[in-house]
A and B are shown apart, each in its own frame.
Chain A
Amino acid sequence: MAGAEIPTAQELASQGLADRLAAVRALRRLADQLEVAAVEEAMRAGWSWPEVAEALGVTRQAVYKKHARRLIAAGVKLRRRSP
């Protein structure tokens, strides 16, 4: 095992980079968790798919595809997808 003493500037820079890349991944994961919780709450509160989609800034198809099955499985009463 070679020296685990003082990290070189290069090692520190590399660690900083690894941290920033990991932060991106962690933020995506957190955003995903926020989305899952918020979409479920919105649908329970009676929001429609188009409203949720517009609020998230994505298409209706995208939000439906991502969440419908899970929400149905969770027993959430969904409003009709399209008028």
Chain B
Amino acid sequence: MTRFDSYLRSILERGAEEARKDGSATIEAHHLLLAIAAEPEPSTQEILTSAGLDYGSIHAALDREFEHSLSVAGVSRAAAGLPRPRGVPAHPRPGPSFKLAMERGVAALARKRDLRPAHLLLGILGAQVGTVPRALTLAGIDPADLRARVQQSLATDGEPRR
């Protein structure tokens, strides 16, 4: 198993855990983003930190995005009187945004064996619309700027021999 494979595996496990905590039957891109933020992997940690992001702030941004989107329809989570979802589905499956993120992360690359952790982040940030870019924007982060940071990190961080 390559280093990337074992990284991917821990991200998927953690992503599934995030989905369960969220009460979601599917693992979505934002669960992967939380997983990446929770994983002590130097290159991705450096990128997130440079943008002022960590697990806690991403979590808060996602919560805010949820509240904000509900408010567009005149609804508030507090008014619905909900307890925080308790660990729900046993085996969340990859959802549509997860699949898109993986495609975008891998599509950036000619050869699969060149995959590095930051490519996963790049794939997630490839979304122009949806939960992740909305949450980042609400947190005052420009998704395009963050994407550029990832690209720069991938370019300078020893692109494997071509």
Residues of A within 8 A of B (CB): 18-27, 29-30, 32-34, 36-37, 69-70, 73-74
Contacts and interface: CB of A to CB of B under 8 A. Distances in A.
Contact of A23 (B23, B24, B70): B70
A37 B129 contact: no
A22 B89 CA distance: 23
Interface of B: 23-25, 65-66, 69-70, 72-73, 75, 77, 80, 82-83, 85-86, 88-90, 129-131, 134
Contact of B69 (A22, A32, A36, A69): A22
A30 B134 CA distance: 18
B90 A33 contact: no
A52 to B, nearest CB: 17
**Closest 6 pairs between A and B when the two form their complex, measured CB to CB:** A26-B69, A23-B72, A22-B69, A23-B73, A19-B72, A26-B70
A20 B72 CA distance: 7
A21 B80 CA distance: 20
B90 A70 contact: yes
B82 A37 contact: yes
A45 to B, nearest CB: 16
B83 A37 contact: yes
- Which residue among A18, A24, A32, A33 has the maximum number of chain B CB atoms within 10 Å of its CB? A33
